[in-house]
């Protein structure tokens, strides 16, 4: 059941990225170009994501266990660390330069050609270099 929920959620997320145009690198770069030809589309996409997530977080805080079994992950620390700041800057620079972030890059694999494949391969390689092995093993478990 968890697998079906995961695949359905991922497909819905990918469809949302496709419909909203967030796999279009020029649209994302237009959002980031606040002093040029600014495209506010991403603001509406981000705003549209906040409401359902706020509802989901509210519901999950009142539940003891997820619907599909298991347990909810522990809340992450609410502090800004050096790793978080550096990672955010690298993410932002990559997003601005390429116009892609992890979700849309996987969705763009279907039409991104060798450049999309190279981007995803580089992104995954960078993630593996940056994340200690113990975190990778725990995420795959």
pLDDT in tens for each of the 141 residues of the chain? 778 888 898 888 888 888 887 778 888 888 888 888 888 888 888 888 888 888 988 888 888 888 777 887 777 778 898 888 888 888 888 888 888 888 888 877 877 678 888 888 988 888 888 776 555 555 555
What are the structure tokens assigned to 50, written together?
A: 């906040």
What does the alpha-carbon distance between residue 89 and residue 80 come to, in Å, rounded to a whole number? 13
CB 45 within 8 A of CB 20: yes
Phi, psi of 4, rounded to the nearest 5 degrees: -65, -45
What does the alpha-carbon distance between residue 51 and residue 72 come to, in Å, rounded to a whole number? 20
What does the alpha-carbon distance between residue 24 and residue 59 come to, in Å, rounded to a whole number? 33
What are the structure tokens assigned to 91, written together?
A: 């993410």
Phi, psi of 67, rounded to the nearest 5 degrees: -60, -35
What are the structure tokens assigned to 2, written together?
A: 């968890």
Single pTM value for the model: 0.61
- The residues, ordered by sequence, that sit 6+ positions from 107 with a Cβ below 8 Å of its Cβ are 14, 17, 18, 23
What does the alpha-carbon distance between residue 35 and residue 23 come to, in Å, rounded to a whole number? 22
């Amino acid at each position: 059941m968890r697998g079906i929920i995961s695949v359905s959620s991922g497909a819905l997320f990918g469809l949302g990225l496709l419909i909203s145009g967030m796999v279009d690198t020029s649209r994302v770069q237009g959002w980031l170009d606040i002093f040029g030809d600014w495209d506010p589309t991403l603001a509406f996409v981000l705003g549209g994501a906040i409401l359902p997530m706020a509802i989901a977080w509210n519901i999950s805080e009142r539940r003891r266990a997820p619907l599909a079994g298991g347990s909810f992950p522990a809340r992450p620390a609410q502090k800004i660390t050096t790793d978080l700041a550096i990672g955010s800057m690298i993410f932002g620079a990559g997003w601005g330069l390429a116009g892609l972030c992890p979700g849309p890059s996987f969705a763009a694999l279907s039409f991104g050609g060798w450049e999309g494949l190279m981007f995803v391969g580089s992104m995954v390689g960078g993630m593996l270099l940056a994340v200690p092995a113990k975190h990778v093993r725990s995420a795959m478990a």
